[in-house]
Structure 1
Amino acid sequence: MSEPSPPPRGWSRHLYLAAGWILTAIGVVGVILPLMPGTIFLIGAAWCFSRSSPRFEAWLLAHPTLGPQVVRWRRTGTIARRVKYIACGSMALSFVLVTQTSAPPIALWTTAICLLGSAWYVASRPEPKDGE
């Protein structure tokens, strides 16, 4: 097994750190708002922190509200069925809202392709076994 790559240095480390905090903020909003999935943003934040700040990564993983879903994702790569329904439903609702704007057709097609790919990925993840 190869050694993990060292964290980036200089400006890229700062970009990862900034992205981690932005994703954490969006994830917190997702925890508060029932129709917005927050876990995916927190998973992204943990990844960014793993590249920039082990201290903030440890803080996020140990957080009693924000951490458990991220830890479970890292350990098992599973998504609960209820969460899959919420995520895919939110994506469908988002697309309906986008169609109500005056977005050009290329934006609608791009949005549809991105959301379908994201929904496929979420739906294809395994579900946790009992006790996970």
Structure 2
Amino acid sequence: MKALYILFGTLSLILGIIGVFLPLLPTTPFLLLTAALYVRSSPRLYHWLLHQKYLGNYIRNFRENKAIPLRAKIISISLIWITILNCIFFIAPYWWLKILLLLIAIGTSYHILSFKTLK
């Protein structure tokens, strides 16, 4: 079972890292999942994850404060809307797809804004 936890934790970590750069893929939930899987499988990997310079901050801030830094909120929401609007106006050929993309942008923005802001 430990090997599966490590495997899925590593996959979740990779998705979380990709999410830093890809606006529609959330970073924090994948990193929280990685932490949960690593704590059940390998204390060494869990310790390594929490003490990473950038990734560890995501996990610690969210676990301790249930909050997202203002800079991260601004960047996330800006990238989401830039990407979605680009798709709506230049890529999506069908009206139902445009509406779906708009609803995704609204939903993810609401989700991000529903968390407290870390100062």
TM-score normalized with structure 1 length: 0.65
* Offset at residue 69 of structure 1 (A): 2.0
State the partner residue of 1:21: 10
State the partner residue of 1:93: 82
Query: C-alpha separation between the residues in 1 aligned to 2:12 and 2:27?
Result: 5
State the partner residue of 1:111: 101
State the partner residue of 1:53: 38
1:59-95: per-residue Cα shift (whole Å, max 9, x none)? 2122122101211111101112222111110110111
SS at match of 1:28: helix
Number of positions where the alignment pairs a residue of Structure 1 with one of Structure 2: 113
Identity of paired residues, percent? Answer: 17
SS at match of 1:127: strand
Asked whether the equivalents of residues 24 and 42 of structure 1 are also in contact (C-alpha less than 8 Å), the reply is no
Query: C-alpha separation between the residues in 1 aligned to 2:31 and 2:99?
Result: 28
Asked whether the equivalents of residues 31 and 59 of structure 2 are also in contact (C-alpha less than 8 Å), the reply is no
SS at match of 1:64: coil
Provide structure 1 residue ranges, at least 5 long, that are not aligned to the other structure: 1-8
Query: C-alpha separation between the residues in 2 aligned to 1:124 and 1:68?
Result: 19
Provide structure 2 residue ranges, at least 5 long, that are not aligned to the other structure: none
Which has the larger strand fraction? Answer: 2
State the partner residue of 1:5: none
Which has the larger helix fraction? Answer: 2
- Over 3 Å counting, the alpha-carbon distance change for 1:105 and 1:58 in structure 2 is farther
RMSD (CA atoms): 2.9
Query: C-alpha separation between the residues in 1 aligned to 2:95 and 2:8?
Result: 30
| Structure 2 residue 68 is matched with structure 1 residue 68 | no
Equivalence map 1:6-45=2 (5 Å)? 14=4, 17-29=6-18, 31=20, 33=21, 36=22, 40-45=26-31
Asked whether the equivalents of residues 26 and 41 of structure 1 are also in contact (C-alpha less than 8 Å), the reply is yes
Query: C-alpha separation between the residues in 1 aligned to 2:7 and 2:97?
Result: 27
* Offset at residue 57 of structure 1 (A): 3.4
Alignment-mate amino acid for residue 41 of structure 1? T
